[in-house]
Amino acid sequence: MVYPSFLNGIPIMREPRAHTAKRTMLYMAVSLSVTASGLLICYLLWDIVPEPGKTMNAVLAYRVAGNFPGTEVFVALAMFSAGTLLVVAAQAGFIDGPRVLSNMAVDSWVPRHFSTLSERLTTSNGIILMGLASFAIVVYTRGNIHSLVVMYSINVFLTFSLSMFAMMRLWFGRKGQTHRKRRLTLFSIAFILCATVLVITVSEKFTEGGWLTVVFTGILVAFCFAIRAHYNGVMARLTRLNEDFQGLPVDGVLPPVPKFDPEKATAIVLVTGYGGLGIHTLLNIFRSFPEQYHNLIFLSVGIIDSGEMKGQENIDKLRERTEESLKKYVKLAAYLGLPAIYRMTIGTDVIDEAASLCLNVSKEFPKSAFFAGQLVFQHETWYHRLLHNQTAFSIQRRLIWEGKTMVVLPVRVR
C-alpha cells in the first residue's frame, strides 16, 4: 500500500509539491527495487527454503552469519531492524488512513463529515477506529502470520489493481497528449500484472482466510455504495427544492439599493452553490429577525475534490463557479432591497477554511452575526444524523469559542 498512501500524502509535502513528490517516488522506487531484488538474489544464491518457525529473512540471516561468533546476536539485530522497519511502514496506514477517508467523504462515498481533517472525528477518532479494527483482526486470527499475510496480500493487490486501472483509464481518455501511448502501455501492463496476482492469490488462498477478506471488503464496498446512493437521493430532493425558486430574478440589471454601511447590523450567510438551501436560509433570516439586519455578506468555500485535483485549470474553474454562485446571491439580495457583498476562499477542509474566513470577515465587520442552513428531514433516522447536519454545527462550535454569534436555521426536506 505504499503507492496509494504516498499519493494521499502529497498535500503535506514541501513546496513545490509535484517536484518533491516525483523525487520522493524515485527514491522509494529505487530503494524498494534494490531491497527486493537483493533479497531474491540472496535467496537463490544460498538456496533459501522455508523452515518451521522461521521467516525467509531469518533463515537467510542464519545462513549469512554461518558459524561466526555472535550468530544469535547478529540474527536478533537483523530481525529487530526488519521489525522496526515494518512498524514504521505500518504507520503510513494510520497517517494516510484519515486522509483517504477524507477524500472519499468529499466524493460522498462515506459520511461527508469525514472530509474535515481538522475535526477530531476524522483524525483522532479515525486513527482509534483503525487501531481497534486492526486489534480485532489480530484477535480473530489469533496472531496467525499466515492468515494475516493472506488478508494483507489480497487487499494490497486489490488497491494496486484499482490504482493502475484508474491510471490506465485516465491516459486512455487523454488522446493526443505527449507520451500517451507509452504511459498507457505502462499502466496497462501494471494493471494486468497486479490483477493476475490478485486473482491467483484469492483463488489459491480462498479457503485459508481469503474468503474472510473477500466478505469484509465486499461489505465495506456495499456500505460505501449505499451511502453514495443516499446522498444522490438527497441531491434529487434538493433539486426539486431548487425548482421552487427558478423564477427569482437573479439575471438582468440590478435595481438601486441602499449603500452598504459597515456600521449597521450585518447578516453573514454561509452558502454553498446557488440553490434552494441557501435561498431558504436567506429568507428564514428575515422571517426570524424582521428589520434587524441592513447588510448582507455571503461567504462560500470552494472545496477541492478528486475532480479538481487534476490541475490548475480545474481549480480555476472551481473558483469561477464559486464566485458565480455568490454573485447570484448578491443579485438576489439587491432584488430584496438590501446591499450585499461576498467573500470566498478555496481549500480542501471546509470547516477550517470557513471558520478562518468567518473570523477574518468579523474583524472587518464587527456588528455582524453568522447564519447557516441545516437540512431537517421529516422522518429523521439514526443514519440521517450520521450523514448530515455536521458541518454547520462544527463551524458554529469554532465561532462560539471565538466569541462570535452564529445561528443555524432549519431547512425542511420532505
Q: How far is CA 318 from CA 114, 299, 301, 322, in A?
A: 21, 15, 10, 6
The single-letter code of the amino acid at 299 is: L
* Residue that is last in its domain, among 208, 228, 243: 243
* More confidently predicted of 369 and 307: 369
Domain contains 381: yes
* Secondary structure string (H, E, C) spanning the chain: CHHHHHHHCHHHCCCCHHHHHHHHHHHHHHHHHHHHHHHHHHHHHCCCCCECCECHHHHHHHHHHCCCCCHHHHHHHHHHHHHHHHHHHHHHHHHHHHHHHHHHHHCCCCCHHHHCCCCCCCCHHHHHHHHHHHHHHHHHHCCCHHHHHHHHHHHHHHHHHHHHHHHHHHHHHCCCCCCHHHHHHHHHHHHHHHHHHHHHHHHHHHHHCHHHHHHHHHHHHHHHHHHHHHHHHHHHHHHHHHHCCCCCCCCCCCCCCCCCCCCCCEEEEECCCCCHHHHHHHHHHHHHCCCCCCEEEEEEEEECCCCHHHCHHHHHHHHHHHHHHHHHHHHHHHHCCCCEEEEEEEECCHHHHHHHHHHHHHHHCCCEEEEEEEEEECCCCHHHHHHCCCHHHHHHHHHHHCCCCEEEEEEEEC
Do residues 398 and 301 both lie within one domain?
yes
Residue 188: pLDDT band by 50, 70, 90 thresholds? very high
Do residues 284 and 213 both lie within one domain?
no
Closest CA to 44 of 23, 65, 60, 20: 60
Q: What would the grid cell of residue 40 be?
A: 531474491
* Residue that is last in its domain, among 243, 274, 308: 243
Residue 186: pLDDT band by 50, 70, 90 thresholds? very high
Do residues 358 and 391 both lie within one domain?
yes
pTM for this one? 0.68
Do residues 271 and 356 both lie within one domain?
yes
Provide the CATH number for the domain around residue 299.
Answer: 3.40.50.620
- For residues 104 and 8, the answer to whether their CB atoms sit within 8 Å is no
Q: What would the grid cell of residue 56 be?
A: 525467509
Which residues, other chains included, contact 117 with Cβ-Cβ below 8 Å and sequence gap of 6+?
98, 99, 102, 123, 348, 349
pLDDT confidence of residue 15 = 65
Say which range, 104-113, 160-169, 262-271, 279-288, has the weakest mean pLDDT: 104-113
Q: How far apart are the C-alpha atoms of 137 and 93, rounded to whole Å? A: 15
pLDDT confidence of residue 123 = 65
Number of Cβ within 10 Å of residue 130's Cβ equals 15
Domain contains 132: no
In which residue are the cell numbers 431548487 written? 242
Domain contains 296: yes
For residues 8-25, give the mean pLDDT: 70
* 196-255: pLDDT as tens digits: 999 999 998 888 778 888 888 899 899 999 999 988 888 877 777 666 665 566 565 666
Do residues 384 and 285 both lie within one domain?
yes
Domain contains 324: yes
Average pLDDT, the chain: 82
Domain contains 126: no
Domain contains 122: no
Domains identified in the chain, total number: 3
Do residues 286 and 396 both lie within one domain?
yes
**Is 70 exceeded by the pLDDT of residue 1?**
no
Do residues 6 and 90 both lie within one domain?
yes
Q: Highest-confidence range of 7-21, 40-54, 303-317, by mean pLDDT?
A: 40-54
Q: How far apart are the C-alpha atoms of 255 and 269, rounded to whole Å? A: 21
Do residues 191 and 239 both lie within one domain?
yes
* More confidently predicted of 121 and 353: 353
Do residues 218 and 290 both lie within one domain?
no
pLDDT confidence of residue 233 = 85
* 290-341: pLDDT as tens digits: 888 888 999 998 877 654 455 567 778 888 888 888 888 888 888 888 888 9
**Is 90 exceeded by the pLDDT of residue 23?**
no
Q: What would the grid cell of residue 189 be?
A: 501492463
pLDDT confidence of residue 308 = 47
Domain contains 261: no
* 103-160: pLDDT as tens digits: 788 788 888 777 765 555 566 667 777 788 888 888 888 878 778 888 888 988 998 8
pLDDT confidence of residue 195 = 94
**Which residue range(s) make up the domain with 46?**
1-107
Closest CA to 266 of 405, 411, 410: 405
Do residues 271 and 226 both lie within one domain?
no
Do residues 222 and 283 both lie within one domain?
no
The single-letter code of the amino acid at 294 is: H
* Residue that is last in its domain, among 62, 86, 107: 107
Domain contains 367: yes
The single-letter code of the amino acid at 288 is: S
Do residues 150 and 57 both lie within one domain?
no
